Amino acid sequence: MESDKTMLWSMMGLLSLQTNAIPTYLQQLYKLWKSYRENLSAFSHIEIPECEEPCMGTNNEIYRSVRLYLSNLEATANAPSVSISRPSRTSKLGFSLPAQYKVKDEYIGVQMWWSHEIKVDEKAGGRDRGGGATERKYVLKISNKDKARVLSSYLEHISDFAYNLQRRSQERKLFSNTESRGRWSSVSFKHPSTFETLALDPDLKNKVQKDLDTFQESREFYRRTGRAWKRGYLLYGPPGTGKSSLIAAIANYMNYDVYDLELTKVLDNSTLRELLLATSSKSVIVIEDIDCAANLSAKAMCRRPSKSNKEGSKQSRRGYSTITLSGLLNFADGLWSSCGEERIMIFTTNHKNRLDPALLRSGRMDMHILLSYCGFPAFKQLVFNYLEMEDHKLFPCVEEKMQSGGCLTPSDICEILIQNQSEPDSAVKAVIAALEGSKRLDEAVSSESDVSDEEDEEESSSSSSSLSEDE
């Protein structure tokens, strides 16, 4: 009985090699037998061709994803022979699986095997560089008991991996709306700021990184809760405290493109919407100095006289921005803001109290991050970055000056360190002297600021009264 089975299998193998010389009815019989054998087998073989329609040459995106995925498997790199390539606009080398060689993979405890099959049809000559039509396909071997349970999620895992791999290896872009017609232009984004070099309080730095990690891993959470997959940050504090550096560090950490939106160059709400729709997923959208970029503060909105649509249209045609607070709110958290996934919106301001409360609520600016004057841990990071020095005998004096009211921004300290980069002792002494001077100056500025705030409050109250009377 066993010998009969062996002979039958041998005959079937011989038939598969001589299909061109076998009558059509025997070929059909062989296909039926092959299908019957596969149904009895404990494994299924899933074919993923290079082209969806070989005659039309339509590329199969799943094939491309599998190729990128397998190129990063250790088993592929250890194959007896591999092809090495580097796609355009990337810096990472890829390893191609050799034909007929099988590699094993494991996904949530399920083992499976991949092979790459290449077939050249010489009769179809002229359809590829080698004179024949080449058909390539990946074949996945997976057990029947696991196929229904994991196949769909496994292929989605491969697609996500390939997409993220391509984004990490590609050059990131910095976009800006240099024109008033709702278009973006781009340059290479090569800002060197990272969380490792950022002069920021360690606890705050860890909090931001943890929030970014949670956001990036929460696709299913946002889908389950019915929320758009986006996150809003407000960076506020005095000038020179590192807001732009933190934005760059976030973009580098997440491997996202950056869209720097200049509101003063946006004519109206519809143009603002067009710019939003032209942004990509996995991006950081930045509006810096939002209190100065447009007349959208709470006080300004009270003072602004109402204009008819006709008057607003005239202003727009003349090149004046007619963006409204409502338009910006819809940009940040309206229906149009959900046209895309995995976006981070970052707003910066030097004066948080000037912003309308509607802008500050969760959903628009979820996390408010105060970037204030340089603390001692941030100072030590700056000294390490600029002077490559981890400790100094005068560090306790610097810490004491900071705790007693001396205040310098990180940019102020950076300039001192740059001027004295060849003399570490002089650099630290210069920082101490600047801290002493800043304390006296800060006391004087605080007195003037209190008087100015009182005048602003009186003016705001007067404007509100006038508005009520007009109504």
pLDDT tens column, 305-335 = 344 444 444 444 445 567 777 778 777 776 7
- Which of 406, 413, 457 is closest to 435 using CA atoms? 406
Residue 100 pLDDT exceeds 50: yes
If you ran DSSP here, which 8-state letter would residue 87 be given? -
Q: For tokens 């030590």, name the residue.
A: 380
Q: How far apart are the C-alpha atoms of 72 and 93, rounded to whole Å?
A: 9
Residue 93 belongs to domain spanning:
43-169
Report the relative pairing of strands 133-143 and 43-49 from DSSP bridges: antiparallel
Q: Which of 320, 337, 370 is the last residue of a domain?
A: 370
Last residue of a domain, one of 322, 351, 370: 370
Alpha-carbon Rg of the chain, whole angstroms? 32
What pLDDT, in 10s, does the model give residues 226-259? 888 899 999 999 999 999 999 999 999 998 999 9
Using CA atoms, how far apart are residues 438 and 461, in angstroms rounded to an integer? 34
- How many distinct helices (H) and strands (E) make up the chain? 18, 15
DSSP helix/strand/coil, 297: coil
pLDDT band at 53 (very low <50, low <70, confident <90, very high): low
CB atoms within 10 A of CB 434: 18
Task: Return the percentage of the chain with pLDDT > 70, whole number.
Answer: 67
One domain, residues 11 and 73 = no
Do residues 33 and 91 share a domain?
Answer: no
Least confident of 102-111, 226-235, 335-344, 368-377: 335-344
Are 392 and 386 in contact, with CB atoms under 8 Å apart?
Answer: no
pLDDT confidence of residue 466: 34
- What is the average per-residue pLDDT within 96-110? 81
**320, two tokens:** 């004046």
Q: Is the pLDDT of residue 441 over 90?
A: no
Model pTM above 0.75: no
Long-range CB pairs of 41-45, under 8 A, 24+ apart, other chains included: 41/144, 42/143, 42/144, 42/145, 43/141, 43/142, 43/143, 43/144, 44/141, 44/142, 44/143, 44/144, 44/147, 45/139, 45/140, 45/141
Answer for the pair 211, 367: CB distance below 8 angstroms, yes or no: yes
Mean pLDDT computed over 144-169: 85
pLDDT band at 336 (very low <50, low <70, confident <90, very high): low
Contact 330, 358 (CB under 8 A): no
pLDDT at site 305: 39
Q: What torsion do the CA atoms of 157, 161, 163, 168 make, to the nearest 10 degrees?
A: 160
Position 466: which residue type? S
* Bridge partners, residue 175, by sequence: 186, 259
CATH of the domain at 347: 3.40.50.300
CA–CA gap between residue 351 and residue 328 (Å, rounded): 18
Same structural domain, 72 and 157: yes
Q: Tally Cβ neighbours within 10 Å of residue 349.
A: 22
Closest to 382 in 3D by CA, of 414, 349, 423: 414
Write down which residue in 317, 341, 370 finishes a domain. 370
Same domain, 296 and 315: yes
pLDDT at position 271 is 85
Q: Is 272 found in the same domain as 241?
A: yes
Domain count for the chain, please give it. Answer: 4
Q: Taking the C-alpha atoms of 125, 126, 131 and 133 in order, what is their torsion angle to the nearest 10 degrees?
A: -60
Whether 162 and 189 map to the same domain: the answer is no
Distance separating alpha carbons of residues 248 and 230, to the nearest angstrom: 18
Confidence band of 130 (pLDDT split at 50, 70, 90): very low
Q: Identify whether residues 107 and 189 lie together within a single domain.
A: no
Task: With cut-offs at 50, 70 and 90, classify the pLDDT of residue 279.
Answer: confident
DSSP-assigned states of every residue in 114-149? EEEEEEEEGGG-SSSTTSSEEEEEEEEEEEHHHHHH
Cα separation of 182 and 275, whole Å?
5
Same-domain check for residues 64 and 151: yes
Do 160 and 188 sit in the same domain of this protein?
no
My answer on whether 187 and 323 are in the same domain is: yes
Helix (H, G, I), strand (E, B) or coil at 284: strand
Specify the length of the chain in residues.
471
Q: Identify whether residues 343 and 424 lie together within a single domain.
A: no
- What span, in angstroms and rounded, lies between the C-alpha atoms of 151 and 157? 10
- Of 429 and 100, the one with more pLDDT: 429
Q: What distance in Å separates the CA atoms of residue 364 and residue 234, rounded to the nearest whole number?
A: 9
pLDDT given for residue 311 in this prediction = 47
Tell me: pLDDT of 376 over 60. yes
Mapping DSSP to helix (H, G, I), strand (E, B) and coil, where does residue 103 land? strand
Indicate if 253 and 295 belong to the same structural domain.
yes
Give residue for tokens 């079937």.
12
